[in-house]
Structure 1
Amino acid sequence: MKKFIILMLSVQAIWAQQPTKRIEFEAPESYPEGVAFDKASNAFYVTSARLGTVGKVTREGKYTELYADKSLKSTYGIKVHPDGKRLFFCAADANYSKFSTPETKKKTARLISIDLRSGKKLSDTDLSGLAAGEHFPNDLAFDNQGSVYVTDSYADVIYKVDTNGKAAVFSRSELLKAAGVGPNGIVFHPHGFLIVANNGTGALVKIDLNNPEKGAKVKIDQFFPNADGLLLHDNYTLTLVQNGGVNKIFKLKTADNWTTAQVTESTSVEDRFAFPSTAAAAGSETWIMNANFSELTEGNNVPSKKFSLQQAVFNPVKK
């Protein structure tokens, strides 16, 4: 009986260390970074840091290319427009593109929209002339009026593109600055502000739409170096994706409108996320894009053919 109990405990331990559920798909060399979920088609849309494409991934793991453009080097953050008919995504040439050129490297900054069903391009906004220096448009968010806010991780600014397609620098807050990669993941809060993850400093920055140049750090009892994607679940709950060796997903909550926040839950180290980048909500589930960028930084790997979306299962954080 004692041996049986020990065996059962061993089996349970092995089971507990298994990674959470994944949707694996074959998209050779793509290295997807951004992910968005579309309720109408019950499918995910992903970008490509290496090839500059946009693809569709079904729940069953079938990948099809939705949009390709020879002028694109890399694609990053992607979101479904509130109208449910359009996909918006960031186009750059920041680091991992297979097609990078001296003319586009760290210079490309575009916001593109396509028809969600046909993949036809609807708009293409050049952001590269709005701020000096190098460029890396990384993520985006929509406000209640349908305007788009885009983080530029190299120029350390946030752009705003209104519903007429007019683009301008929205915020140059000092809190967006960092050595290397700065503002990254971004969400819009219905109370009239943005929350931005500063990749370099590990801070969350709150930007009031009525006073965008100031900004304030959300007071949290820890920092998140290499913070990437953000996902707002409701007015009080936020998911943060952290890579750079940590490779965990955190859930934060606030009781004072994001003046302060507390880490309440996180994923387990045993889940073994592979350089997680961004998050998308599919009903009550949270899915994470495994970008696998560590393969590209090592430089001696054969490019992967298969990638995965992985479900985040959260556990309470012990205080």
Structure 2
Amino acid sequence: MRRSVPVRATRPRPSTTPGRPDQLRRTARAQRDLWGERHHPQFPSTEQEFTLSRTARRLSAALAAAVVLASAAPAASAAPAAGSSGRWWTGPATVAARGTDLYPESVAWDPTRRAFLVGSAQAGTLSTVGLDGTVRELAPAFGMVSTLGIKVDLPRGRILVAYSDFWIRQAMPLPQPPTSGIAVYDLVTGQLTQRIPLFEDGGASFANDLAVDDDGAVYVTNPASATIVRIDPDGHAAPLVTDPRLAPEVVGDNGIVWHPGGYLLVGHYETGRLFRVTTAGTPEVTEVGLPAPLAGADGIALRPDGALVVVRNANGRISGVPDGKDSVTVLRSYDGWRSARPVRTADRWPVEGPTAAAVTPYGTYVLSGHILALQTGHGPTPEFTLRRL
């Protein structure tokens, strides 16, 4: 893969929006309120994973049982869900969002707005989704691209979005060269402040999902290549690692999360394998031992209790990935993600084509944005769904 030309970060100018300091203070309060003093207060360290007490295990089992009971409530009703700070919140079991032709592929939770953020595989926009299903555009499209993976970076006051014209280019000829990268938006205003081009080397131009580490470095997957790219805090992009196990026959590495233990977890869509990737020194890629592969693994999300939510779908069947299915699996590891086992599986997910999940104070919500309808031309779709796990 051709190296991306280093791009110097354009630091956002201080906003003249009245009340911005108050907004930033509210952002800090939101972070403490929803996640505690640290970004992920309930993540155990590697040593703690080995020495989890019986009391903690019993408490985890009780909370898991409560979540199972809550998810069994009727879709139209609201049921309590445990917040990561130990408080109990009330949220809907299902959010039916009205957004004709948006086709969102990824979702993130914005604690400053207490709303979801979604992109658009068709329109290239960034929108908020309220718990009542109200959709409002936060940022317009900046070109003929799909907006895909989304991360809210609270400490740095920004929203990071992976974008690409890969799918659009497959559907129609475009007057532009292959376009792909990371877009940076101001968390308060929603204004686009920076674009960092990545993977713009022809057919492999497909920035798909991203993760952010504690220092603000960004890691980006590309299902059309075997390379994970790192963008340093100053905005310079370079390959982190290239590994043949990440390479695709059809669709390769996809979902990615940063673990506070100092490594990445990366899912491979077509093989269903999960990888642990260290980032310090010389990066090392090791496969996480699973009882069985999770073919069709798309978006992944790390919960504050250390469990990993893996969203699977059957969308790849039209491209030659036969083993995927619409389901959600929760994995847990007790050895620093050298191995993991399922602790919960929701087979036959009730809404077709789930692609991503967002962890919120109301529980984990799974997005079904009708991507398959877009790929097969069976749209338009008047709404998309966020359903609590």
Please give the TM-score of this superposition, normalised by the length of structure 1.
Answer: 0.85
Aligned to 1:86: 158
Please give the TM-score of this superposition, normalised by the length of structure 2.
Answer: 0.71
Aligned to 1:42: 114
Aligned to 1:119: 190
Distance 1:125 1:45 in 2: 20
Aligned to 1:267: 346
Aligned to 1:315: none
CA distance 1:50–1:91, change in 2 (3 Å)? same
Secondary structure, aligned partner of 2:208: strand
User: Structure 2: which 5+ runs fail to align?
Assistant: 1-70, 77-92, 315-323
Moved more, 286-295 or 78-87: 78-87
Secondary structure, aligned partner of 2:300: strand
Choose the corresponding residue for 2:308, options 233, 238, 250: 238
Aligned to 1:257: 336
Distance 1:54 1:212 in 2: 35
Distance 1:98 1:116 in 2: 32
Aligned to 1:75: 147
Deviation at 1:174, TM superposition (A): 2.0
CA distance 1:99–1:165, change in 2 (3 Å)? farther
Secondary structure, aligned partner of 1:137: coil
Aligned to 2:262: 192
Secondary structure, aligned partner of 1:83: helix
Aligned to 2:387: 310
Aligned to 2:167: 95
Find out whether 1:168 has 2:238 as its counterpart.
yes
Find out whether 1:150 has 2:220 as its counterpart.
yes
Deviation at 1:178, TM superposition (A): 1.9
Aligned pairs for 1:213-228 (under 5 A) are 213-228=283-298
Deviation at 1:132, TM superposition (A): 7.2
Secondary structure, aligned partner of 1:95: helix
Aligned to 1:206: 276
1:4-43 deviation per Cα after TM superposition (whole angstroms, max 9, x unaligned): xxxxxxxxxxx97976932111111110011010112110
Kept in 2, the 8 Å contact 1:147–1:161? The answer is yes
Distance 1:17 1:212 in 2: 48
Aligned to 1:110: 181
The alignment-based identity, stated in percent, is 29
Secondary structure, aligned partner of 2:129: strand
Choose the corresponding residue for 2:366, options 288, 292, 299: 288
Bigger fraction of residues in strand: 1
1:39-84 deviation per Cα after TM superposition (whole angstroms, max 9, x unaligned): 1211000011111111010111110111113414201000101326
CA distance 1:98–1:309, change in 2 (3 Å)? farther
Distance 2:134 2:369 in 1: 17
Kept in 2, the 8 Å contact 1:190–1:235? The answer is no
User: Structure 1: which 5+ runs fail to align?
Assistant: 1-14, 313-319
Give the letter aligned to residue 114 of structure 2: N
CA distance 1:98–1:136, change in 2 (3 Å)? closer
Aligned to 2:36: none
Find out whether 1:180 has 2:257 as its counterpart.
no
Kept in 2, the 8 Å contact 1:184–1:229? The answer is yes
Aligned pairs for 1:7-26 (under 5 A) are 21-26=93-98
Aligned residue-pair number: 294
Bigger fraction of residues in helix: 2
Distance 2:272 2:281 in 1: 22
Kept in 1, the 8 Å contact 2:369–2:384? The answer is yes
Kept in 2, the 8 Å contact 1:73–1:100? The answer is no
Distance 2:179 2:295 in 1: 25
Deviation at 1:306, TM superposition (A): 1.1
Deviation at 1:94, TM superposition (A): 2.0
Moved more, 145-154 or 70-79: 70-79
Kept in 1, the 8 Å contact 2:123–2:141? The answer is no
Distance 1:18 1:98 in 2: 40
Kept in 2, the 8 Å contact 1:53–1:72? The answer is no
Deviation at 1:155, TM superposition (A): 2.0
